[in-house]
Amino acid sequence: MIEELRRANMRVNICGLEWKNPVATAAGTFSARESGRYYSPDLLGAVTTKGVSLLPRAGNPTPRIAETCGGMLNAVGLENPGADAYIEDELKYLKARGATVISNVAGRSPDEYVEVVRRLSETDADMLEINVSCPNVSEGGMTLGVDRNAVASLTRRIKAATNKPVIVKLSPNVTDICDIAAAAEDAGADAVSLINTLTGMRIDAKSGKPVLANVFGGLSGPAVKPIALAMVYRVARRVRIPVIGMGGIMTGEDAMEFLLAGATAVAVGTAALLDPCAPPRVAEELRACVASYRDPLERF
């Protein structure tokens, strides 16, 4: 795999689409206009946009972000302008700048997911990522993604509603992530991405109150990387479709670990909230890691 990447000058083929390198942004941590002030989105393999629902959503009450040791908690709750505004504004803006766009899809119900997918299918979005793993909403999101039958049924309906490649984004908050990945694959998913955030919380020791208004939030950043890596390693051995790995990637070496674990591509999330240029920097550092890598004689 690494040798192949070197020979292809970092280009990867994912679900029939060529990415110029295996690095994408992770949903919810990239904004077309803000990130666009720092780098051109076409430097990356792909950009994944924030979860979009049918109608605008205000998200959860504040505070909805808290720092933790080695990471952060967020309970943003899928704030977004709704599908029509997203299509007219952010998607058009990114496509006009030559980006390969993965539109991340949210919904309160299977019907809502399918309707958003239908609308996106009429646009030039390149791939759709179905977020069945958001821990910060009471309907849809992770409530669907922890149930293999619900994931299979939704994936089947979405595949019937679109010709675009469908990535199912998996939750780590399950007993066996391989089982859910296999259910998505059997139902026709073209790829899986993992991991979304892990449920966590903080309590203010002085007031005794939860720090987040939502009480719980999703943990992301370097603290989750070993968990994400182990999950990617296991899922990549279970399914035949491409795996997009994410969780705590801060450097090219982190990204390289995910590729060695079996991911075809990676996404950079929390790192971009610290340093907006992290995604293109990780892509450049990964190029150097790939160039200097020598395959070990024995595989682990």
Ligand X SMILES: Cc1cc2nc3c(=O)[nH]c(=O)nc-3n(C[C@H](O)[C@H](O)[C@H](O)COP(=O)(O)O)c2cc1C
Residues that bind ligand X (CB under 6 A): 26-29, 50-51, 74, 76, 78, 104, 131, 134, 169, 196-197, 220-221, 224, 246-249, 268-271
Q: Are 34 and 25 in contact (CB under 8 A)?
A: no
Q: Kindly give the residue spans of alpha helices, DSSP state H, lying in 195-295.
A: 225-238, 252-261, 270-274, 278-292
Q: How far is the CB of 103 from ligand X (least distance, A)?
A: 11
Give the Cα separation of 67 and 42 in Å (integer).
Answer: 30
Bridge partners (DSSP) listed for residue 217: 200
In the set 15, 69, 134, 277, the catalytic residue is 134
Q: Which is nearer to ligand X, 6 or 213 (CB)?
A: 213
Token look-up 């958001």 returns 134
| 51/200 with CB nearer ligand X | 51
Nearest 10 degrees: Cα torsion 252, 258, 261, 264 = -100
- Tell me the closest approach of the beta carbon of residue 297 to ligand X, in angstroms: 32
Q: Whole-angstrom Cα distance, residue 285 to residue 21?
A: 12
Q: Which is nearer to ligand X, 102 or 161 (CB)?
A: 102
| CB 231 to ligand X: min, Å | 11
The minimum distance between CB 130 and ligand X, in angstroms, equals: 9
Q: How far is the CB of 295 from ligand X (least distance, A)?
A: 27
Nearer to ligand X, 6 or 234 (CB): 234
Q: How far is CA 109 from the centre of its chain?
A: 20
Q: Using the minimum distance from each CB to ligand X, give the nearer residue, 6 or 81.
A: 81
289 is catalytic: no
Segments of the chain assigned E as strands: 12-14, 17-19, 23-25, 47-48, 65-68, 71-74, 101-105, 127-131, 166-169, 191-194, 198-201, 216-220, 243-246, 265-268
Q: Which DSSP symbol is given to 8?
A: T
> What are the backbone dihedrals phi and psi of residue 158, each rounded to the nearest 5 degrees, phi first?
-70, -40
Catalytic residues: 134
